[in-house]
Structure 1
Amino acid sequence: MHIAFHAPLKPPDHPVPSGDRRMARAFMDLLVSLGHEVELASRFRSYDRTGDERRQERLARIGRELARRLVRRYRGRPPEMLPGLWFTYHLYHKAPDWLGPVVSTALRIPYVVAEASVAPKQAAGPWAIGFAASRAAIARADLVLAMTDQDRAGLASVVSGPGRLHLFPPFLDTAPFAAAALARGSARARLAAASGLDMEWPWLVAVAMMRADAKLLSYRLLARALAALADRDWQLVVVGDGEARGTVEGLLAPLGAGRVHFTGAVPPEALAGLLAACDLCVWPACNEAYGMALLEAQAAGLPVVAGAEGGVSDIVVDGSTGILVRPRDPLAFADAVRTLLDDPERRRVMGLAARAHVTARHDVAAARARLRPLLEASRCVSA
């Protein structure tokens, strides 16, 4: 089947790396692995970061015109080249889908959405236009894939009818991370040689872009938490880059010379080895949807200490694959990190549990097995 794919928040080929971009690409690859031909329908971004009503109105006009153009373009194709399904990844009040509902209705094809969310408090707020559009699109969808329990609960009030709303856990290809975990010793030696890290100390790792939003808040909390652990031996590896890098470096500088190593942005093919070389993933996870970096760290055999915010508890099993603490509580975070720093055997057992959990629940093979019957059913629903 030919599938038209759209990601209104950020297209899968966007130049700035992020968990959202990785998940969009993963969905495209997943659809291809199921035997479908996937076309990126549009790179149009409907994202409005600040709640600007005029900007949202302008984006709505552009989106409606683009949708009309897409319908004309598709109708000009031979029947065998027409999309048999429209798939939109990640729509919500800040990034509504102006294209998918129009095109799928005009072509009479199923409309499928993944990682959609509904925040009722935005109905009359600065994103009211985006909220109304995203809510209408979600209500129109033949199949809605919620990636966290929190999102599924919110969507239940919008998605009516049986078989349309399903929990679909975030996923990744665990094979590179499993291979990296098996070669941990050599990966650790390479990182030590490149960075000057002490191989006798535990290495903490944080992976996140450096932006002046919730990411920066997480970095602030991480700095406060680690400052309370000055009496322990540890070093921190920070993976990521962005416009707030100078601020992040300033926040972590008081931890002491030699404590923190910045890698900058790391290409995807090198990330698995870097994670496997470390001992513990640490991230406060402020306003995280779920955190792809936390999933990747566990796939590489690392336990996680994170804030129990958003959908983090959907991917980190508290007490088994890591420790979840009260959101935005640096002292509780420090206590959890201290617990695992002082107990290498517990870290090891949690790391093994993390790999097993991610392989069983979040591997691409599990996602493939979930998605195939859901897409088949969605075609019947639309028909």
Structure 2
Amino acid sequence: MHIGLILYGSLDTLSGGYLYDRMLVQALEEAGHRVTLFSLPWRSYPRHLTDNWRPSWRARLLAAPVDLWLQDELNHPSLFWFNRILRTRHPAPIVSIIHHLRSSEAHPRPLSVLYRWIERMYLASVDAFLVNSHTTLATVRGLFAVTQGLEPTRWPAHVAYPAADHLPAQPEINAEAIAARALLTDRLRVLFVGNLIPRKGVHLLLDALARVGEGIELTIVGSLDPHNDYANFLQRKIRTLRLHSQVRFTGRVNETELVSLYRSHHVFAAPSYEGFGIAYLEAQRFGLPVIALTIGAASEVVIDGRTGVLVKPGDSAAIAAAFQRFSSDRNLLLAMGLAARLRYTLHPTWEESMGAAVRWLESTATPIGRAGEPSPGSRG
């Protein structure tokens, strides 16, 4: 089968969503399928909307000799209108790979209304959904709940979880190493890994750190692009709160360096809404309890009170309380660390998860309905 994958920029882009896409492409190619990338340059949201009427882009897709379209949902502004033409003039079914809906984020009301409308238009224009969590699938279906005449369960769907066995972490950490790390009496070391953007909530970690005082360190892993306004804001906040001795920025790191950071820290914290949150699973692989949110898919990865702590959005006081508990009760830290490691071992590997996704795509590509009438049913 010849598959066309539509995305922005390079497949090698550093993010959890692009990692997912790379692992899916690898699994498809290992199964004997051919994958051709159809890439658009990164631009602003309004400029992406104009892609729907760009003649060269439309002509390229309509002439593509592919049997199946895979579209990263991140590209929805470039496809929300043109997909209706693509579906009627090109025989290949369209499957959307959905990691996270833009409309699920907090925006000013006018933008929220616009994003919901455009994203709903896009989702209604595809034939099936490949999603990274049950939370994401429920969010997708929730967009249709207010639209008369559209029954969201008629779109075939498959949940294929991300995994965390891509990191070069041999030998795997064991219970003895987790215990030795947890029972050390030095400062509690908290780790954040992710893009430095407002929705990731790093400022909440700084507020929590300011509440607990000295005795806890925070390492922030993420690109320190000088043009990143949020990264600059965080650095100013550190100066204002006088947290210089407790906070360290690493900038972007390679996989070997990331593994070393996971091994040397006690707790992972990322108080953001996530469609899945691969970093949560990566942290649990190394026996780190996770501090995450009660919303989003964190609850599919983190067991509150057993492998970590789930807090309400914006609640820096609850984050501070979790920091203090882990710092003062090292037996609790150890118990949750061991439970986190066990949780990771029970999770599917990339090979298992993407293998199931490939088999679903193979079985779904042919029977999908066309021209606005998706086949009934849902998998996953």
Global fold match (TM > 0.5): yes
C-alpha distance in 1 between matches for 2:312 and 2:190: 20
1:308-355 Cα offsets, whole Å, 9 max, x none, are 232222322212221101111111111122222222232223223323
Q: Distance in 2 between matches of 1:181 and 1:125?
A: 48
Shift of 1:142: 3.0
- In structure 1, how many angstroms separate the alpha carbons of the residues matched to 2:367 and 2:231? 48
Which position in structure 2 is the counterpart of 1:106?
A: 89
Worse overlay, 297-306 or 138-147: 138-147
- Seen in structure 2, the aligned counterparts of structure 1 residues 160 and 39 have a Cα distance that, compared at 3 Å, is same
What is aligned with 1:68?
Answer: 59
Q: Are the aligned partners of 1:174 and 1:358 in contact in 2 as well (CA < 8 Å)?
A: no
Give the distance between the partners of 1:293 and 1:342, measured in 2 at CA: 25
Alpha-carbon distance in structure 2 between the residues aligned to 1:369 and 1:199: 44
Overall identity of the aligned pairs, in %: 25
The C-alpha deviation readout for 1:54-98, integer Å capped at 9, x for no partner, is x45523222x641322323x3xxxxxxx32211112247656556
Cα gap change, 1:200 to 1:298, in 2 (>3 Å): same
Letter in 1 for 2:95: V
Which residue in the other structure is 1:334 paired with? 320
Match of residue 40, structure 1, among 34, 37, 41: 37
Residue matched to 1:237? 219
Judging changes above 3 Å, is the alpha-carbon distance between structure 1 residues 37 and 209 closer, same or farther for their aligned structure 2 residues? same
Equivalent of residue 154 in structure 1, options 139, 149, 153: 139
Contact 2:308 2:336 in 1 (8 A): yes
CA distance in 2, matches of 1:311, 1:250: 31
Q: Corresponding residue for 2:266?
A: 279
User: Which range is displaced more, 302-311 or 242-251?
Assistant: 242-251
Name the aligned partner's letter for residue 164 of structure 1.
P
Give the TM-score normalised by structure 2.
0.78
Aligned to 1:345, which of 318, 331, 344? 331
2:17 is aligned to 20
Q: Does residue 316 of the first structure (1) align with residue 308 of the second (2)?
A: no
How far, CA to CA, are the matches of 1:129 and 1:327 in structure 2? 23
Contact residue 187 and residue 327 of structure 2 kept, 8 A: no
Matches within 5 A, 1:197-276: 200-211=186-197, 213-215=198-200, 218-230=201-213, 233-241=215-223, 242=225, 243=228, 244-253=230-239, 254-276=241-263
SS state at 2:347 partner: helix
- In 2, the alpha carbon distance for the partners of 1:182 and 1:138 equals 43
1:12-34 alpha-carbon deviations (Å, 9 max, x no partner): 234xx333333332332333343
Q: 1:30 aligns to what?
A: 27
**Does the 8 Å contact 1:223/1:255 carry over to 2?**
no
The aligned length equals 351
**Match for residue 176 of structure 1?**
168
Query: Is residue 306–residue 339 contact of structure 2 (8 Å, CA) maintained in 1?
Result: yes
Deviation at 1:170, TM superposition (A): 2.9
**How far did 1:246 drift?**
3.1
The answer to whether the 8 A contact 1:238-1:260 is kept is yes
Q: CA deviation at 1:263?
A: 1.2
8 Å CA contact 1:144, 1:165 repeated in 2 = yes
**Cα pair distance change 1:56/1:372, threshold 3 Å:** closer
Once structures 1 and 2 are overlaid, which stretch shifts more, 164-173 or 126-135?
Answer: 126-135
- The one-letter code of the counterpart of 1:376 is E
The CA deviation string for residues 90-145 of structure 1, in whole angstroms up to 9 with x for no partner, is 247656556666546534122111116484999x9447776555434422433212
| Aligned counterpart, 2:123 | 138
Please state whether the residue corresponding to 1:361 is helix, strand or coil. Answer: coil
Task: Note if contact 2:290-2:309 (Cα within 8 Å) is conserved in structure 1.
Answer: yes
Distance 1:372 1:311 in 2: 23
What CA distance in whole angstroms lies between the structure 1 residues aligned with 2:37 and 2:195? Answer: 25
Structure 1 residue 305 and structure 2 residue 294: aligned? no
Distance 2:335 2:31 in 1: 35
151-160 or 302-311, which moves further after superposition?
151-160
**Alignment counterpart, residue 70 of structure 2, candidates 60, 66, 87:** 87
Superposition CA RMSD, Å: 3.5
- Of structures 1 and 2, the one with the larger relative CO (CA 8 A, separation 6+) is 2
Q: Provide structure 1 residue ranges, at least 5 long, that are not aligned to the other structure.
A: 75-81, 190-197
One-letter identity of the residue aligned with 1:13: D
Unpaired runs of 5+ residues, structure 2, are 145-149, 370-380
- Secondary structure, counterpart of 1:204 in structure 2: strand
Q: SS of the residue aligned with 2:367?
A: helix
* Kept after mapping to 2: 8 A contact 1:146/1:166: yes
Report the AA paired with residue 361 of structure 2: L
Q: Is the 8 A contact 2:129 2:155 kept in 1?
A: no
Q: 1:67–1:98: 8 Å Cα contact kept in structure 2?
A: no
